[in-house]
Amino acid sequence: MVSLPRVVIAAPGSGAGKTTVATGLIAALRQRGLEVSPHKVGPDYIDPGYHGLAAGRPGRNLDPVMVGEALVAPLLLHGARGCDVAVVEGVMGLFDGRGSTEEGSTAHVAHLLEAPVLLVVDASSQSTSVAALVHGFMSYDEDLDVAGVILNRVATDRHEGMLRDALRGIVPVVGVLRRDAHVETPSRHLGLVPVAERAPEALATVERLGRVIGAGVDLDQVLEIASSAGDLDAEPWQPPTVERAERPVVALAGGAAFTFAYAETAEALTAAGADVVVVDPLRDEVLPEGTRALVLPGGFPEVYAEQLAANDRFLEAVRGHLDAGRPAYAECAGLLLLCKALDGTGMVGHVDAIATMTGTLTLGYRTVVAHSDTVGAAEGTVLVGHEFHRTTVDPRAGRRPAWQLQDGTLEGFTTAEGLLASYVHLHPAGAPDLALRLVERAASCS
């Protein structure tokens, strides 16, 4: 049994201000001198970057769809080692999950964590009706502990008074944020602009959010609510560990163009016996010395296509790595980098496909089956991944596809030498063989 104060930040729907409140709450608690463990429900990569900046430690995801229910609490405890409190930002509306179900929803995760919930309500267009809204969310699932509300976008003192009167006797009002206290964070086609692309402005943003939340939210009451969570009957997650006499170097792409990597990715590779070195395809001209495997996570190569193409020495280093038969694992942005071209701009060219931007968002979980033995999985392995992009590749799959989807569609590209590239994002805890297989293949390379 592990004791960890924890609270889930939820909302009736998207756009109510969950990220603002969660990020600001993390920053405000840290400004008090507390160690805060930041988490996000679902597969989102961008919000955890802001959480991590606010907390001074990696933001992490909790996704029962991708990793299974049994690993949600262990992953929370893994990320929260040495912390005083954990703050978990929800996804969409409180009960919105996979498809028309509650699977993977904020409520689902709150139940798995046995954590109290703070409901962020956009009160800009209501007064007394807020009572019906909050009462409905509290009564929909009476086993869920909705312990308080934070009223966002409140106009005036009079407006605040009406809202408080309406909620009296229903739920405690833990905080009130005024409409004019809004802190702007720039967005584009896949959501907020990632932290890595706007430092040091992003740091100033989270510091301002911390001050706003510190002024508008009763932090003592939040901590009291978080401390009401009981002990968790779980042990911290630990990736499979392999001791190796010689640890191969695995290059992990990072920097502004490749920000969609889970914190557990590098940890799983390290535990599998690799020395992980981060490389920035926008700035570095060569792969790290001794590189035996390459991991290209998701991100925004479409935003930096010309800069990536201009770094021809790096592209040539990747070609040389692949031509030598050394392994590589690429997700989404990594796939685009390996294509012949992205929106007419030349890329590495090892994958015989053309990538283009579209106006359509492709988003959702994917249950996939490994089409053959690959660097990522044994043939027939069933995994749950996620897609999140506004690009397309033609063709969608190569002669040796990576995956078969539930509808029979073939997805991605593999080679016998050890390349796996596809749109599908996987979480290391939900695909524990991936790091092991990749590092094993790397260790066997000369």
What does the DSSP 8-state code read for residue 71? G
H helix or E strand, kind and range, residue 48: helix 46-55
Look-up: residue for tokens 């799959």?
A: 397
* Amino acid symbol at 176: V
Q: Which residue has the tokens 């809204």?
A: 133
CA atoms of 167 and 245, how far apart (whole Å): 63
Tokens encoding 144: 């869920």
**Residues pairing with 121 in the sheet:** 151
Rg of the chain (C-alpha set): 22
How far apart, in Å, are the Cα atoms of 436 and each of 7, 97, 331, 442? 34, 31, 17, 10
* Helices 201-216 & 46-55 angle (0-180, nearest 10): 70
Q: Give the phi and the psi of residue 112 in degrees, each rounded to 5.
A: -65, -30
Number of neighbours of residue 142 by Cβ within 10 angstroms: 8
Q: Is 206 left (phi over 0), alpha (psi -120 to 50) or beta?
A: alpha
The whole-angstrom separation of Cα 228 and Cα 336 is 47
Chain centroid to CA 348: 27
Distances (CA, A) of 356 to 250, 266, 414: 29, 29, 20
Residues catalogued as catalytic: 332
As a whole number of angstroms, the distance between CA 444 and CA 180 comes to 59
Sign of CA dihedral 408, 410, 411, 413: positive
Residue (of 81, 82, 20, 84) closest to 54 by Cα position:
20
**Strand 410-411 relative to strand 403-405: parallel, antiparallel, unpaired?**
antiparallel
Q: Are 387 and 396 in contact (CB under 8 A)?
A: no
Q: Which residue matches tokens 């966002």?
A: 152
Q: Do residues 148 and 174 make contact, with C-beta atoms less than 8 angstroms apart?
A: yes
